[in-house]
C-alpha cells in the first residue's frame, strides 16, 4: 500500500467516525470555569480510580496524580532522573538503598512527611490490598522500607535493582494515615498529597474535576487551580479549544494544522514509548497462530512503517526494538522490519497458514495521537496478506483490568513498549516476559537473560546486555514494532510558560493572561 493510498484509506475509514465525534464534542461542551487564574484542561478520559494513584502508572491518571502527589524521585526537565521528595540517594549494599528526604514537606492535611510516613506507604503496597494494585505489583521487588532517621529512609530489595530510584518516580507518596481512616474508595474522592494542588470536586454527571492550589505544598503554584473536562473525542477537544472553553489539551494529529492556523501553539514531545500491537503466546487460544514466531515475524513484515510514519507528527520514526531513542537500552544499530509483504506471505505459508487466518485485536481509541488511524492501517495491511483482522474497541478501565489479569478477548492487543515512567527499558522488557504475575508473552531464553541483565549495576555493562536483549526481542517478535510515539499538546495564547515534564504539563509553573 502506497502512502497516498494509505491516506485515502484512512480518510474513508475515519470520516464517519469524525462526524460522530464532533457531535459528541458539542454535546459535552464544557461550562467555562470562573476565575482568570484557573487553567482549563480537556482530557480524553479521567482516571476511573480518581485520586487513587496505585491503579495505574500512565495517562490519564498521571495528568491528575502528578499535580496532587510527589514521588521520592522525579523525571526532570531534561528527561533525566532528579530529586522529588528525596533529595539524594546512595547504594549502601547491592540490595540496600538509602534516601535522604526533603525537609519541611507537609501534606495538604498538614501532616508532616518524613521517613516513618514513607515507610508506611511501602508497607501498604506490600499488604494484600496493595499487592492487588498495579503499582503494588510493580513494586513487588521491594521487601522492606524503614526509617533510619527522621529524614532517612532505607529500602531493601529482593535482588540487586539498579533502576530502583527510577521505579520510585512512579510511586506516589499518599498520606497513609488518611487512607487508613477512611478506606481507599473514600480517599480516592478526597486524596491527600504533598503536590502543588488539592482535589476539591468531582462531578460524575458532567465529568468535571477541579483542583485548587495547595497552600501547604513545597511546590508553589503561579495559578489558582486546574479544571479537567472529560471530552472523549479528539474533534470535541479541538472544538473546545477553538471556542475558548478550554486552554490546553492533548490533541490528535488530524487537528494540528487547523489549530496552528487559528493561532494555537502545538507542542510535540517524545512519549518514551514504542507504539506496538502485541501478540499473546500465553493464555487465550492454545492453537493460536500467534504462538508461532514465523507468524509474528510475518505480521511485522506485512506493515509499511515508513508510510504510516509519513502521516504522523514531525520526527516520528519507525522502530524495530523495545526502546525508543532517549530510553536507556536503545540500540541505534537495530533496524525496523522492512516492508516485505511477499516475505510475510511465505512465512505464513511455512507456518501452515497459506490462506491466512482470522484475528481479533483489541484496541483503544483516542488514547494517543494517531491511535485510530494506526489501528485501521495495521489491520488493512494484515488483511492484504490474508490475515482477516477484526478490531474490537476497549475502554481504558477495561484495558487496565485485562493488562493486569491477561484476560484479553483477542490474541492481539494494542499494548506498547512503555518506558516513560523510568526512561529505562527494564519495565517494558519485564512486561514482555515470563516474570509478569500474569504473563501474556513468555520466552524462557529471553527471560533468563533479562533476569541476569537487570541486576548488572554497572551502567555500561547493563547497556550492552540490554542492547543484546533488544536484538533477541526483535527476532522473537512479541509485537508488531511500529513507531517511536509522540505526544501532542495544544494550548491557547492565553497560556504562558508551558512545559511538559514526564509527559504531563507542569501546571504550577504556567501563567495565564
pLDDT averaged over every residue in the chain: 89
Crossing angle between the packed helical segments 341-350 and 293-301, to the nearest 10 degrees: 160
- Average of per-residue pLDDT across 448-457: 95
**Residue 8 pLDDT:** 54
Q: Is the pLDDT of residue 439 over 90?
A: yes
Q: Is the pLDDT of residue 335 over 90?
A: yes
Confidence of residue 223 (pLDDT cuts 50, 70, 90): very high
Instruction: Give residue-wise pLDDT tens across range 152-179.
Output: 999 999 999 999 999 999 999 999 999 9
Closest CA to 486 of 243, 319, 356: 319
Q: Is the pLDDT of residue 345 over 70?
A: yes
Instruction: Give residue-wise pLDDT tens across range 284-334.
Output: 889 999 999 999 999 999 999 999 988 876 667 899 999 999 899 999 999
- What percent of the chain is modeled with pLDDT above 70? 92
Q: How many Cα neighbours within 13 Å face the side chain of 447?
A: 13
- Average of per-residue pLDDT across 203-216: 92
**Residue 3 pLDDT:** 44
**Residue 354 pLDDT:** 96
Supply 202's cell numbers: 468531582
Confidence of residue 20 (pLDDT cuts 50, 70, 90): very low
Contact call for residues 231 and 25 (beta carbons, < 8 A): yes
Instruction: Give residue-wise pLDDT tens across range 350-383.
Output: 999 999 999 999 998 766 777 888 899 999 999 9
Helix (H) / strand (E) containing 501? strand 500-501
- Average of per-residue pLDDT across 44-72: 89
Supply 508's cell numbers: 504550577
Crossing angle between the packed helical segments 444-453 and 459-476, to the nearest 10 degrees: 170
**Residue 373 pLDDT:** 86
Confidence of residue 26 (pLDDT cuts 50, 70, 90): very low
Q: Is the pLDDT of residue 34 over 70?
A: no
Domains of the chain: 27-51+195-264+492-512 (3.40.190.10), 70-182 (3.40.190.10), 271-486 (3.10.105.10)
Contact call for residues 508 and 223 (beta carbons, < 8 A): yes
- Of 59-63, 161-165, 341-345, 460-464, least confident by mean pLDDT is 59-63
Q: What is the pTM of this model?
A: 0.80
**Residue 6 pLDDT:** 58
| CB < 8 Å & 24+ apart, contacts of 238-245 | 238/25, 238/490, 239/22, 239/25, 239/26, 239/29, 240/25, 240/29, 240/30, 240/42, 241/42, 241/490, 241/491, 241/492, 243/29, 244/32, 244/492, 245/29, 245/30, 245/32, 245/40
Closest CA to 506 of 3, 51, 70, 10: 70
Amino acid at each position: 500500500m502506497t502512502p497516498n493510498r494509505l491516506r485515502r484509506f484512512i480518510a474513508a475509514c475515519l470520516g464517519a467516525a469524525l462526524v460522530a465525534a464532533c457531535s459528541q464534542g458539542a454535546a459535552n461542551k464544557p461550562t467555562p470555569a470562573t476565575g482568570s487564574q484557573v487553567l482549563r484542561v480537556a482530557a480524553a478520559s479521567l482516571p476511573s480510580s480518581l485520586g487513587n494513584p496505585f491503579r495505574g502508572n500512565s495517562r490519564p491518571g498521571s495528568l491528575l496524580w502528578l499535580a496532587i502527589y510527589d514521588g521520592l524521585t522525579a523525571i526532570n526537565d531534561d528527561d533525566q532522573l532528579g530529586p522529588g521528595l528525596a533529595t539524594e540517594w546512595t547504594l549502601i549494599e547491592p540490595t540496600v538503598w538509602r534516601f535522604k528526604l526533603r525537609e519541611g514537606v507537609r501534606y495538604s492535611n498538614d501532616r508532616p512527611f518524613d521517613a516513618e510516613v514513607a515507610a508506611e506507604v511501602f508497607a501498604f503496597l506490600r499488604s494484600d490490598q496493595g499487592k492487588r494494585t498495579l503499582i503494588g505489583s510493580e513494586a513487588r521487588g521491594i521487601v522492606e522500607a524503614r526509617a533510619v532517621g527522621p529524614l532517612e529512609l532505607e529500602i531493601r530489595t529482593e535482588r540487586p535493582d539498579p533502576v530502583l530510584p527510577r521505579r520510585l518516580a512512579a510511586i506516589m507518596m499518599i498520606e497513609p494515615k488518611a487512607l487508613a481512616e477512611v478506606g481507599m474508595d473514600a480517599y480516592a474522592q478526597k486524596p491527600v498529597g504533598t503536590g502543588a494542588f488539592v482535589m476539591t470536586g468531582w462531578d460524575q454527571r458532567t465529568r468535571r474535576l477541579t483542583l485548587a492550589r495547595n497552600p501547604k505544598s513545597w511546590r508553589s503554584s503561579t495559578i489558582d487551580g486546574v479544571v479537567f473536562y472529560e471530552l472523549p473525542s479528539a474533534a470535541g477537544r479541538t472544538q473546545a479549544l477553538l471556542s475558548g472553553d478550554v486552554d490546553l489539551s492533548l490533541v490528535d494529529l488530524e487537528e494540528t494544522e487547523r489549530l496552528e492556523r487559528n493561532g494555537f501553539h502545538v507542542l510535540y514531545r517524545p512519549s518514551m514509548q514504542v507504539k506496538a500491537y502485541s501478540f499473546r503466546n500465553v493464555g487465550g487460544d492454545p492453537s493460536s497462530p500467534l504462538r508461532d514466531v514465523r507468524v509474528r515475524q510475518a505480521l511485522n513484515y506485512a506493515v509499511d512503517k515508513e508510510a504510516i510514519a509519513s502521516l504522523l507528527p514531525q520526527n516520528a520514526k519507525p522502530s524495530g526494538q523495545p526502546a525508543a531513542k532517549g530510553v536507556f537500552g536503545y540500540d541505534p544499530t537495530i533496524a525496523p522490519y522492512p516492508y516485505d509483504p511477499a516475505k510475510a506471505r511465505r512465512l505464513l505459508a511455512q507456518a501452515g497458514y497459506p490462506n491466512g487466518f482470522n484475528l481479533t485485536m483489541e484496541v483503544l481509541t483516542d488514547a494517543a495521537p494517531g491511535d485510530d488511524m494506526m489501528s485501521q492501517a495495521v489491520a488493512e495491511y494484515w488483511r492484504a496478506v490474508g490475515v482477516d483482522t477484526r478490531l474490537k474497541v476497549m475502554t481504558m478501565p477495561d484495558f487496565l483490568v485485562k493488562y493486569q489479569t491477561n484476560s484479553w478477548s483477542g490474541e492481539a492487543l494494542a499494548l506498547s513498549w512503555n518506558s516513560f515512567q523510568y526512561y529505562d527499558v527494564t519495565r517494558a522488557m519485564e512486561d514482555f516476559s515470563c516474570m509478569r504475575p500474569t504473563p501474556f508473552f513468555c520466552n524462557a531464553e529471553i527471560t533468563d537473560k533479562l533476569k541476569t541483565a537487570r541486576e548488572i549495576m554497572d551502567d555500561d555493562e547493563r547497556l550492552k546486555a540490554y542492547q543484546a536483549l533488544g536484538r533477541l526481542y526483535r527476532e522473537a517478535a512479541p509485537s508488531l514494532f511500529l513507531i517511536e510515539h509522540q505526544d501532542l499538546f495544544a494550548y491557547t495564547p492565553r497560556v504562558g510558560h508551558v512545559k511538559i515534564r514526564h509527559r504531563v504539563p507542569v501546571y504550577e509553573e504556567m501563567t495565564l493572561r
